[in-house]
């Protein structure tokens, strides 16, 4: 049975939202790593 188009679209939107959230977390990690690096130097 094929999933309906709307549930497919919702899944894609959820995936995109999840990706954005992960990218933000990664960005924060990079900034934190930079900060720690600067403290050590």
pLDDT digits (tens, 9 = 90+) for 7-24: 888 888 899 999 999 999
Residue, of 28 and 12, whose pLDDT is higher: 28
C-alpha 25/C-alpha 16 separation (Å) is 14
Please tell me the predicted confidence (pLDDT) of residue 1. 56
Structure tokens at 23: 């990218």
Structure tokens at 22: 């992960």
Please tell me the predicted confidence (pLDDT) of residue 27. 98
Helix count (H) and strand count (E) of the chain? Answer: 1, 0
Q: What does the CA dihedral 30, 31, 37, 41 come to, rounded to 10 degrees?
A: 150
Mean pLDDT of 22-27: 98
């Amino acid at each position: 049975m094929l999933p309906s188009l709307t549930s497919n679209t919702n899944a894609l939107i959820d995936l995109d939202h999840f990706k954005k959230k992960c990218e933000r977390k990664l960005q924060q990690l990079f900034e934190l790593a930079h900060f720690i690096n600067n403290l050590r130097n």
